[in-house]
Every structure is written in C-alpha cells, then in structure tokens.
Amino acid sequence: MKDQRYRAIKSLIETKRIDSLKEVFKIIPLSVVRVDMKANYSTLRKRIYTGDTLTLKDFRLMGDLFEVDPIEVFRLAILDVKNKPQRSTPKKKLKDN
C-alpha cells in the first residue's frame, strides 16, 4: 500500500504551495521514498541535497510516486539549485619562480 503522504505532496505540488524538492522530505522521510524508488539511501540523499546530480530516472520515479508530471519534480529541483547559496572558491596561489 502506498504511503498517504504522497497524496499530500501531490496536492502541494499541484497548487504550487511547495517551493523546493527538499521541502518534500520534510513531509515524507527520504528513507520511505528510497525504499519505494529502490535506491541507495546515501546516493539518493546526496543527489537530493546537491540537486544538480539527479538523473532523469530519479525525476521519473519521483513523479510516479507523487503522481505528478516528472517536469514538476524537475522544476522543484531547479528551484533548489537556483536558490542554493554560491560558495566562493579560493583562487590558487601562483608559485614565485
């Protein structure tokens, strides 16, 4: 039997009341989604919280679980990446020769 929280997620996505993919996992634990997607927990967690490493298969599977178009899941992931604070990378020091 499918977890009832998926219905809540579907409703929130359809009404645009959820602003990121990470918010989904405040409603339903990542461990539940992981089991339903048949994915490794660590790998899925890294993909979700990095955002830019999710695969098309991930979007399709989550879309199926949430009963929404995978494009909506993609939209949420893009919002996560877009709103992610940018880290400044330190410049390498050149060696004096």
CATH number at residue 50: 1.10.260
Residue type, 2: K
pLDDT of the chain, 97 residues: tens digit per residue: 789 999 999 999 999 999 999 999 999 999 999 999 999 999 999 999 887 789 999 999 999 999 999 999 999 999 988 887 766 555 566 666 5
Q: Is 89 part of a structural domain of the chain?
A: no
The encoded tokens of residue 93 equal 């020091």
Q: Is 97 part of a structural domain of the chain?
A: no
Q: Is 71 part of a structural domain of the chain?
A: yes
Domain count of the chain?
1
Q: Is 95 part of a structural domain of the chain?
A: no
pTM for the whole structure: 0.81
Q: Is 65 part of a structural domain of the chain?
A: yes
Q: Is 88 part of a structural domain of the chain?
A: no
The encoded tokens of residue 74 equal 């993609």
- Structural domain boundaries enclosing 14: 5-83
